[in-house]
Amino acid sequence: MKKTSTRLADGRELIYYDLRDDTVRDAVDRRPLERTVTTSEVRRDVLLGDSVAIASHRQGRTYHPPADQCPLCPTTGDRLSEIPDSSYDVVVFENRFPSLAGDSGRCEVVCFTSDHDASFASLTEEQAALVLEAWTDRTSELSHLPSVEQVFCFENRGEEIGVTLGHPHGQIYAYPFTTPRTALMLRSLAAHKEATGGENLFDAVLERELAGERVVLEGEHWAAFVPYSAHWPYEVHLYPKRRVPDLLGLDEAARTEFPKVYLELLRRFDRIFGEGEPPTPYIAAWHQAPFGTLEEFEGVSRDDFALHLELFTIRRTSGKLKFLAGSESGMSVFINDVPPEFAAQRLREVAS
């Protein structure tokens, strides 16, 4: 992998990740852009104990542009985009309309391929491995920023999810706090460790699932299963079999196997609802240990956390979506219409 860092016309950082070591990246951003001005602010909710990012400048962000005006495609001739070069393998750049900025963190865009009509599932294993390297590198770099406590790599796929740019891409959020969902895991982890005299809850969950009926696929170094208490109609958790706290902890064997396992998982997601159905909308979310202090979670260290990816869709059946209505949105109590055992069986049936 070759990494080349440059600057866009408004000062934002852009990084090329290339498969070839001899690739030269010297294209200049020719757009007449002024410096990006953001109004991002993090406010603490004292009743719920969580935080909300207020980012009014995002109201003006790019919204469903035609394909020939996609800002994530390479620059060609006089059609100037966010990527100055005429081609690329993987690109990461600071979001022009970030939810978090400055002392409130940082937001980045990850373009998986220059092919506008592709998807992550259509990448080669070599391309997917390069994306994994980019996620790992950005996790490392962002963790050293003084305002960052947790790094979250994710992909939103599909208009039903809320995606406003059709080009295959994901995002990275670098939060200035430990996210509420991670905090819940850490509290459960601490309570279980104390109650069992030291047993790791993530290890116990993985062992239980591998012995059960909800395993979707399993490799030598990775395992994917539908969790016992899945919140979403089709939800799969992907774990490395050797517990590590973050992407940086993966060994070479796990990195080598990941593309094959993950691409197969994504391709199965696209076949859940049968032939002729539009691509399955999904969210793919990496859960990594925070880089800040874990003092409030007594007895737990970063090494107790287990890196894993959660992949889920809001489509519950053909042509129907799972909406977060009264119980989910009002009380955070999910109601799942699809039994996890059925979801796992379906995902096994659609194996390629």
Rounded CA gap, 120 and 99, in Å? 24
DSSP state of 123: S
Q: How far is CA 112 from the centre of its chain?
A: 12
- Using DSSP's 3-state secondary structure scheme, residue 343 falls into helix
Query: How many other C-beta atoms are found inside a 10 Å radius of the C-beta of residue 11?
Result: 11
Structure tokens at 157: 């796929």
Closest residue by Cα to residue 249 from 264, 263, 259, 239 = 239
User: In this structure, are residues 164 and 63 in contact, taking their beta carbons and an 8 Å threshold?
Assistant: yes
Convert 300-330 to b/e letters by CB count within 10 Å (16 or more is b): bebebbbbbbbbbbbbbeeeeebeeeeeeee
Helix, strand, coil % in the chain, rounded to nearest 5 = 30, 25, 45
Q: Residue 301, SS3?
A: coil
116 is catalytic: no
Q: Which of 64, 116, 169, 192 is catalytic?
A: 169
Mark 55-66 as b/e (b = at least 16 C-beta within 10 Å). bebbeeeeeeee
DSSP H helical ranges for the chain = 125-143, 180-196, 201-210, 252-269, 331, 340-349
What does the alpha-carbon distance between residue 211 and residue 220 come to, in Å, rounded to a whole number? 15
Catalytic residues: 169
